[in-house]
Amino acid sequence: MAKIVISAQIDLPADKREEALKTAQPFIDGALSQEGCLHYDWSADLNNPTRINVFEEWTSEEALASHFANKHYAGMLGHLGSFGI
């Protein structure tokens, strides 16, 4: 079965990026603790001060679907919402 790889970007005001990254750690840790999560990382884009790069790797579509239904994903959406995203 093929792995699922996600590469995404989150754009937000430059003055909010570091705060968003620092306070996201509980949601990142939550994703990493989920069965089927091989990699889950947020990082500051070195070329764009308003961007966070997101990279995820999951063992299967089922694992990713479970992530989307998990409280950690819902919490992450709320976290991003607090920054107007």
* Mean of pLDDT values over 51-63: 98
* Mean of pLDDT values over 40-61: 98
Q: What is the mean pLDDT of the chain?
A: 96
- Give the list of residues 6+ apart from residue 46 with CB closer than 8 angstroms, or none: none
Q: What is the spatial distance between Cα 5 and Cα 64, in angstroms, rounded to a whole number?
A: 10
Q: How do the domains of the chain map onto residue ranges?
A: 4-81
pLDDT at 80 over 70: yes
pLDDT in tens, 21-33: 999 999 999 999 9
pLDDT at 1 over 70: no
**What's the CATH class of domain 4-81?**
alpha beta
